[in-house]
Amino acid sequence: MGFWKSFFATILALLVFSVLSFFLLIGLIGALSADQEVVVAENSVLRLNLDAEIREQHAENPFEGLPILGTEVASVGLIELKEAIRHAKDDPKIKGIYLTVSYPMTGFATLEEVRQSLIDFKSSGKWVVTYNDMMSEGAYYLASVADKVYMHPIGDVEWNGLAIEVSFFKRMFEKLEIKPEVFRVGDFKSAVEPFILDKMSNENRLQLTETIHSIYDHVLEQVALSRNMPKAQLKEISDKMLVRNGKQAVQFGLVDSLLYEDELTAELKNRLSLLESDDIEFIKLNKYRKSYSNYSSSKNEVAVIVGDGEIMPGKGNENTIGGDKFAAEVRKARENEKVKAIVIRINSPGGSFQASDIMWREITLAAKVKPVIASMGDYAASGGYYMAMGCDTIVAQPHTITGSIGIFSVLFDASGLMSNKLGISSEEIKTGEFGEMITVSRPLSDIEKSVWQRKTEEGYEVFTGKAAEGRNMSIEELKKVASGRVWTGAQAKERGLVDILGGLNDAIEIAASSAGVADDYRVKYYPRKQDFFSELMLQLEENAKVNALKEELGVYYPLYQQWQHVQHYQGTQARLPFELTIQ
């Protein structure tokens, strides 16, 4: 008995020691990382690797750049990236930017933001050079802005136009014996189509066709300007897929030269007036960000409140917009006398109708006392547009997916799945004619369905009424561009849903000018990011939950994941009418 007591005591002690050592190591590395002073060497080149997910904001991580955990960063913050490029423009130690980008994981509106920052950088007389083994359509769109576009001799270029892919789940639901209960308003509110159809409706096909052509038309225009080529020639190359590799890309003027890495190095050394034996002083984005401060002594603040992800009730998380949390941030900015103007930065396909309305209310209250400007990213659709329509001015990129003014409601009758596949049955006792209105264990009755349809129609009237008021349009005019129809930013401007085509910087400048502080202001971003260690604890907790579910559900875990995603659609939604991938 004494042996086993000693054995388990030793095991416990080792476990506690390991856990404490782990967190001590994290703390030590974090402290060292935070205190490290970065000095930029003379004649440096800012190195940007944008083969990453580009999100609105960067999640701080003290492990970045440490050899024990790898040197590559999985994600890049758009705001921080733009700030770094802006600082590099005026930094005498930075002579140019070396850009690598093959498959950026983001939308064209975000690429447009980065592209404009690079164009501004070049206005200083400094250069941008890009070199890649291969380039997707989005990568080339970004790379084309460089002074010189170089490729590996055995490289590939994708320049054959854009495509939109929409997935449909009707047959999967049939196999699982799940029946969607759908209630919607408007011909174009097709977010529910993947649940009830196995191909696109004519209305959805129309809006997607016009959307993708609008986006690509702008892409062609901008590449034509950057490469000094006729737009028609670029379109012909794309339509006929005349370019598939590096050699053809040089032949048709998309790429300047094919170089091996040693030849590229020699070219860069020549630009920097270095000897063959000299090393190039590269500095990466995350290290460069630590070399400067954004501190400003101005007492006038422009608050940029960032909403990135699906709209959900409550607090949300780093991947979603929590309606209550976002509304609280707007309220604090409204009540803060130092905040002279507010920019609502939106990158969202929409989500919860009620959460969208909660945020709209706070935005309209703020707009009564100080300028509030909306800045749209890749998406500001449905619930995302709901947030914007309470602002004084709406700024969008030509590529932005917006509009989708409409709502839908969907519930899922999973009684067949539960009874026939899982062996679960249920009974409901109720006091009146109506039972539980959100349920998966039984189909809705006809009278319950009529209630949901009326509720959806009433929500649509609320949405369109507030949109018409916010845009100073009659309800009849507004409904002509509503019905859940999706527009690009360029199309939305033509129809009065957007005021100005531009990026985040434009929205900030408009906000400062409207507040009368254009010559003296500082920019602060909200909500403030949680510290890394709090995020780590949450992630560890989430991982523990996931592992427990995997252990419990076994082969059924993938079905559980699908169901969790579907549940986001439960109830009344103001959401983009499809989950699309533009390639």
Catalytic residues: 189, 382
Q: Of the candidates 82, 76, 47, 55, which has an alpha carbon nearest to the alpha carbon of residue 64?
A: 76
Q: Which helix H or strand E contains 81, and what residues bound it?
A: helix 78-90
Q: Of the candidates 105, 39, 67, which has an alpha carbon nearest to the alpha carbon of residue 583?
A: 105
Reading the block at residue 347, the tokens are 């990158």
Phi-psi region of 496 (alpha: psi -120 to 50; beta: other; left: phi over 0): left
Q: How far is CA 130 from the centre of its chain?
A: 24
Q: Cα 563–557–555 angle (5° rounding)?
A: 135
C-alpha to C-alpha distances, 327 to 323, 331, 471, nearest whole angstrom: 6, 6, 21
d(CA 247, CA 302) in angstroms, rounded, equals 48
C-alpha to C-alpha distances, 508 to 198, 229, 325, 385, nearest whole angstrom: 43, 33, 22, 19
d(CA 246, CA 157) in angstroms, rounded, equals 6
d(CA 455, CA 451) in angstroms, rounded, equals 6
Question: Cβ-count burial of 199 within 10 angstroms (0-12 exposed, 13-18 middle, 19+ buried)?
Answer: exposed
Question: Cβ-count burial of 530 within 10 angstroms (0-12 exposed, 13-18 middle, 19+ buried)?
Answer: middle
Question: Cβ-count burial of 85 within 10 angstroms (0-12 exposed, 13-18 middle, 19+ buried)?
Answer: buried
Q: Of the candidates 66, 68, 67, 84, which has an alpha carbon nearest to the alpha carbon of residue 76?
A: 84
- What backbone phi and psi angles, to 5 degrees, belong to 352? -60, 125
Q: Of the candidates 327, 378, 375, 372, which has an alpha carbon nearest to the alpha carbon of residue 348?
A: 378
For the chain, what is the total number of helices (H) and then of strands (E)? 21, 24
Reading the block at residue 36, the tokens are 């490290």
Cis peptide before 577 (omega within 30 of 0): no
Residue type, 534: S
Q: Which helix H or strand E contains 374, and what residues bound it?
A: strand 372-381
Q: Are 343 and 329 in contact (CB under 8 A)?
A: no
